[in-house]
Every structure is written in C-alpha cells, then in structure tokens.
A and B are shown apart, each in its own frame.
Chain A
Amino acid sequence: MSANAAVPTPPRRRVVGYNLLTGLVLGVVGYYVGWWIGHHIHATSIGYFADTNQNDIAVFLGYFLSVVGFLAGLGFLSYPWARVRGYPPSLREKETAGVARYFGLCTDHKVVGIQYLIGIGVFFFIGGLNAMLIRFELLRPGGQAFPAGNYLTLVGLHGTMMMGIMSSAILGPFANYVVPLMIGARRMAFPRIEALTFWLLMAAGTLLATTIFFGGFPTGWTGYEPLNDQANSGMDSYIVFFGLVGISMLLLGLNMIATIVTMRAPGLTWSRLPIFCWGVISTASLMLLASPVLIAALLMATLDRTAQTSFFIPSAGGSTYLYQNLFWVFGHPEVYILALPGFAVVLELLPVFARKPLWGYRLAVAGMLGVTLLSWLVWQHHLFVSGINGDLRPFYMLSTELISIPTGFTFLCGMMTLWRGRIRYTVPMLFCLAWFFNFLIGGLSGVFLSDVPSDVTTHGSFFSMAHFHYTIMGGLVFTFFAAIYYWIPKMTGFQLNDRLGKIHFWTMFIAFNSTFAPLFAIGFMGQPRRVVTYPSHLQFLNDWVSVSAFVLGASMLVFLANFVWSLVFARVPAPRNPWGSRSLEWQLPSPVPVHNFDKIPVFTDDPYGYGDDDGRVPAVVPVGAPAGGGS
C-alpha cells in the first residue's frame, strides 16, 4: 500500500511483559526512591525546606515517582521513548488477546470501557463503605466509634473518592465504550491517552487510600485553606489524588471531544448526533476546562506545603478566598460534570423504552449546552456567607437560579418523550424514571440554597448535604446503574438477571429516599455538616437515616450479586438488540468485534426514528456493520 515499505520497525527487546503486576512493583519502588530523594533534599537544603519533622517534599516526590513507576511498569513510557529516538509508534502492544488485556495497557476502547467499569466500581464500593462507617458513627449523638480525627478522614475519603472517581462514572465506562460505536468509528481519537486516563484514575484512587498511613486528612473533599496547609502529611494524598484525577479528567474530556469532532462517520451531522454524545461533549468540555483550574489550585497548595510560598496564608500575603475562588471555579462545573452525564443517559434511554422519538432534540441539546455555559458563572453561590464580594450576591443568586431554565429543557424533553408513548418498565427505564423524581427534589432543594436569605440557614448544614446527594447520587448514580443495566448486554454479551435487577432498583430507590429526605429536616433543624456529634434531640432522625443508609448499602450488594451471578455463573447470552433500540451500537453483534465495523457506516438519519415504520420494531443495519455474528 505504501510507496516505500522498506523501513523496518525497531526491534522490540522486552525482558518482562508489561502488565499490572510490573506496574505495581515499579510503583512501590518509585515511591521509595522518591522518599529517599526527598529526605536527601531535606537533610541538605536551605532553611525553608526543612523546618519541621514531617517531610512533605519526600511524600510528594514519593507519590510522583510512584505514579511514574506505575505507568512505566504498565508500558506507557515505551511510546514516548520510541518517539524521542525518532521511531514511529509500534502499535503491536495491544495485539494480545484474552483476559490478560484487561490487566494492562490496552488501547481497544471496548477493553478500556470495561476496565473503567470494574475499576470505578471498586472505588465506588470503597467510598460507599466509608459512608456506612460515617452513618455508624452517627447512630449516637456523642462520639462513639471513631476518634474525631479518624472520623474526619472517613468523611474526607468518602467525599473525595466519590467526587473524584465518580466524575468519570459515565464517561469512563460507557462513553469510552459506546461513543465510537454510536458515531461509527473504530476507535477513540487517542487510544493511548484513553488508556492513560484509566490507569491514572486507578493510581489516584490507590494513592488516596494510602492517606491512612500518613494520619488522614481533616478537610473533607473541598480541601479548604488554610486548614490544608496546617494538616499533616495525609493531606498530600488528597492533593496528589485530586491532581491525578484532574489530569485524567482533562485528557478524558479532550479525547472525547476530539473523537466526536473528528471521527464521526459520513452522514452523521451534528443534528443527527445521538443525544448521549451531546451530553458527553458538554461534560467533556467542562472536564477539559475546569480541571486545569483545579490542578493549578492544587499546585499552589503543594507549593505552600513544600516550598513555603504563601498563596493561601493571609498573614504572609496570601488569601484564603483565593483558594475558595479557584476551588469553586472548578467545583461548580465539577458538579455538572457529575450531573450532565445523567441527563445524557436519561434522554438517550427514554426514546428506547417509550418507543417514541426524542421530543425536542434541539431544545435538549440547547439545555445541556446552556447548563454547561451557565455553570461557569455561579461559583460564588458556595460563598454567600463567606464575606466575599457581598455586593455580587444578587448576581450569583440570579445566575444560579437561571440554571433551572436549561435544566428545565431536559425535563420537558424527557417528559414529552414519555407522553403518549408506550412505556416499558424495564430495569434501566426504572432507574431513568427515578432520576426524574430524585433530580426534581434535588433541583427544588437547590432553590433554597441558591436564594441568599434562605441559604443563610441551610448553607453548611445537612440540608445542603442532602441536596447534593439528591443531585449526585440521585442524578448520577441512578443513571450509572441505568447505563449498566442497559449496556452490559452489549458489553459482555450476557444478560443481567431481571428479577434481581428489579429488587435492586426498588430497595435502592426506597432506601435512597428514606436516607436523604430526612436529612433535609435534620439540616433545617440545625445540624452542621461533617460533625462527629450532634444535639440529642436529633437522634431519632439520625438513627432513621443510618438504618436506611445500611439498607441502601445492602441494595448495592444485591446489585453485586446480580452482576457476578449473571456474568460469571448464569451466563445467559444476550440477543443482539434486546431493547429494540435504533441506535447503532445495538446493530452490532454482542460483544462487539475488535474492529467494530468492517466498513465505516453511512448515516441517513438520527437514531430516534421510532414509529416511523408504521409502528413496527426497527431492523436497521446501517451500511458497513458486520453481517451476522452475535446471537
């Protein structure tokens, strides 16, 4: 094919294969090398590097080299090293077949999607376990189970783990897996970066867990200064974690946008793009632009903790508000990084199960883009009583409340899609419908927090905690499960058990509401967030919440049982298109062949043409999909 096929590929000398094991070994080695170097600097350098007995430089260097070693062990350095020497990339490294692919660097977007699902699932369960322990502590008003410092670490671990890892909960597993299939591509634009985002996230989660060896951290997920600067070395784990998550999100967002912009198959115009892809673009653009601000803020915090700069130390020329501003410039878009994928999943799934086209496609797109844009203009609503820019509060109140308008578009489009439909109550559909309920409560309670006079009482109380659990857990985690139940048959080729799925849904839905609805009342009655003690008259409600939370935790075990039983033991093959969807990924065999499409398909319409063929179930196989296969 080429004009000159004479150039040989460089010889490959590989003593040990790259995989997770070598990654972990080199990760540990890297940590100790960094630790040693850090202590060397500490012992020899100028005064301000060496003023206390806890050596944050050593910890940061250890973490940094640990990540480098981990990535090297996974084989991520062979590409840049080949390029430095002028050799073209050799792409043979992911030719390996079999289960081993899932335990190393693999650039097949379908493998990465499944890696993400399992990896995120593990950390989701760890984060959930922390929540269980928090609720155990709060069974009694006085401190009972954990020392105050350990309790704060649990709170911080739960919040940080969930906010950091779950940011990629939809884009990681599902967008990586289905976006190329939806747009008729064989791969993501940058497959190596795609794999990198996953392994960075895993490294981040693991390093965050090591905070317990350094005494934990006291700041919660916000990491507010100057508490951050005071805290002992456990804080470094938080900073490194969020920094890595930031890099992972940035690259994930970049890759997603690039893929959807450049890799769409012929005929897939912007107005035919599946709505899920629009949700992915919105989320990805927030990831791309908000993460750098977070990374910058964390680097400033790192410098404050190591090189004794004073970005956030008021008595030395810095400002605590600077951190709060930078954190929430990231933090509010982050909230929509968590919420928007939920919108996308719901709008994508409703047409399939209501058997109607998506109602108001343009309005739905405008809604998601509007939310994306407005989410940049609202960050100081987290600081209404902080004393910052008191005169700007009416603006932030207005801009925050304006977000309800584009969010309302999503609601309208979803609701009108259901209207006059033929609604089928499958498990993924139940989770989508629950989203409406949860997000409605989350949205309405958000009005109280966005309204300054009302926020004076609700801010920093359990009310705001209940609010964001309704939007994030009710908005994201419910749709996360909707996506699992919906796409797992395509991803694995096996069905999940329907009965267990329904049991999971109903226990989760009821326990979720029973857990978080009373928290609104607890907040209104004066319990601040993140406390280890509370007034004794709030014990009944708190106990109610704790017991509900345990049931909620148990509902996750139902899911886990279903997942393992269906995919490992029962293994009932899934049909190619069990939901009767018109979307492209369902026209492919289950699971999807490595190269996705023999020929790149040509699109002639959007995937929502339900009812166009006189109400018959569609049998679209676009040009280019492999014939046959699946079951």
Chain B
Amino acid sequence: MSSFAEHSTDYAVVESEPPEQLGRNLNTAGHLLASATAFFFLAFVFAYFYLRALNNAGLWRPRHVNPSLTLGTLAIVAVVASAVLIRLGLMDHRAGRRRQWRLKGWLALGLAGVAVALQIAEWATQGFGPADGGYASVYLGWTGLYAVFLLAVIYWIETLLATATRYRKIESGAPPAGHASGDSHRTGHDIHDPLSLVRPSLEALSFYWAFLAGIGVLTWFILYIL
C-alpha cells in the first residue's frame, strides 16, 4: 500500500490557486445550502397544510393550542433585525469600516441569541404540549428545528467575529494567491492573513442569513397568522 502515498511534492513547481477561489466556493455553497434549507422547511409547510386540510379525528387544533403571538413576533423581529445588521455590516466591511462591521456583527450575534431565548421562553410558557394534535406537532417541530438553524448561524457569525476581533490590529492586504484555499499543504505555506478569510465568508453568510430570516418570516406567517 505504501506506494499509494509516497509522493513527495516539490512545492516550488506547484502553481498557486487564484486568490478569489475561496470566495467563489463559499458563495456557491451559500446558495446551495439555502436551496437545501428551503426544501427542508418545505416539508413542514407541506405537513402544516396537509394535516390542517385532513383534520383527522378532529384533532388538528384543539381550542387551547394557541402559542403566544407576542413572543413569536418578537423572536422573528430579532431574527430579521439580526440579518439586516449583518447585511449592513457587510457593506461596512466592503467600505473598509472594520470597526463598524464588528460592532454591527456583535449586535447581530446578540439579536440572534435573543431570538433563540424568546423561542425557548415561548415553549416554556405555552399552555399545550407536543401531544396536543396536528398543529401542536407541526408548531413544535418547525420552531424547534428553526431554532437549530439559528444556532448554526450563531456559530457562523461568531467564527467571523472571533477572527475579525482577534486580528483587529493587523493591516490586511489583498489576499495572496493560493491563500486560504484549504490547499496549503499542497501549496506549501500556511495562512498568513487570517483577516482575509472574513470577507468571503461574510458575503456568503449575509446571503444565507437573509434567506433564513425570510424562511423565518414565512414560518411566523403560517404558524401565527394563518
């Protein structure tokens, strides 16, 4: 088996990857991830309308199954505000206003956390449980899994802020070729400018977070308003 592996690489002859590769990859992945997310929640949209139309055993929505509109609305407002802040932060980042972007970023992170907290508060205070019919099932499954997606976005925002904050003192130049490509073991150098990792990821995040907030608004409309 050893001959599978024994290829030493002379990095001197290996050409570097184009610097914009990371951004292109993340941008594409953000869109693909958004489409997969849409299909995931479509299953819940379908479940909602399907069970509602069937109303089996008359147990679609007993009278007491009525989640708090106030808490739900507040949570979704926090989500939308957080997404808007990330978008504004991206514009700051593009314009080179690094401090403002970090400020908006931390605020957005906090708001996303608030949204999750409000959602948890709502589950804790509502007067019904998961066993209370079709609507209760869809409501708890849908909001619960949406909250899981919120946690994933919180992680994403946090990693960007952590890098941006940790290296805030460093002057970031144009990203060098072959940079941050996930490829450095083949191109021979490590990542020298961590700050240059932030922008491509922020671009992708801004799109995905806006998309997820859109799904959140749809969730809110279907679960609370319809």
A interface residues (Cβ-Cβ under 8 A, vs B):
1-7, 9, 46, 48, 80, 83-92, 94-95, 97-99, 101-102, 107, 114, 186-187, 189-192, 250, 254, 257-258, 261-263, 288-293, 295-297, 299-300, 303-304, 307-311, 314-319, 321-322, 325-326, 329, 492-493, 591, 593-595, 597-600, 624
Contact = CB atoms under 8 A, between A and B. Distances in A.
Contacts of B110: none
B80 to A, nearest CB: 23
B25 A191 contact: no
B20 to A, nearest CB: 10
Given A317-B55, A322-B46, 15 more contacts: A2-B173, A5-B192, A6-B192, A7-B194, A91-B191, A92-B185, A94-B185, A99-B4, A250-B36, A291-B36, A308-B131, A309-B140, A311-B141, A316-B131, A318-B137
A1 B178 CA distance: 10
6 contacts: A3-B173, A88-B180, A88-B191, A300-B141, A311-B51, A593-B7
A319 B166 contact: no
Contacts, number: 247
Interface string B148-192: 000000010011011111110011111011111111111001111
B7 A293 contact: no
B145 interface: yes
Given A4-B171, A309-B140, A317-B59, A91 B37 contact: no
Given A90-B190, A319-B54, A310 B140 contact: no
A322 B51 contact: yes
Nearest to B37: A292
A304 B47 CA distance: 14
A107 B177 CA distance: 20
B47 A311 contact: yes
Interface in B22-46: 24-25, 28-29, 32-33, 35-37, 39-44, 46
A325 B50 contact: yes
A91 B190 contact: yes
Given A98-B5, A315-B56, A599-B15, A1 B189 contact: yes
Given A1-B189, A86-B166, A594-B7, A322 B50 contact: yes
Contacts of A591: 3-4, 7
Contacts of B137: 300, 303-304, 309-311, 317-318
B25 A254 contact: no
A594 B186 contact: yes
A474 to B, nearest CB: 30
A90 B3 CA distance: 27
Contacts of B55: 317
A1 B11 CA distance: 14
B124 to A, nearest CB: 12
Given A95-B185, A309-B140, A316 B133 contact: yes
Interface of B: 1-7, 9, 13-17, 21, 24-25, 28-29, 32-33, 35-37, 39-44, 46-47, 50-51, 54-60, 129-131, 133-138, 140-141, 145, 155, 158-159, 161-167, 170-174, 176-186, 189-194, 197
B141 A299 contact: yes
Q: Is the interface of B mostly helix, strand, loop or mixed?
A: helix
B196 to A, nearest CB: 9
B64 to A, nearest CB: 14
A3 B174 CA distance: 8
A318 B130 contact: no
A319 B75 CA distance: 30
Contacts of B130: 48, 303, 307-309
A95 B188 CA distance: 10
A1 B5 contact: no
Contacts of A189: 25, 28-29
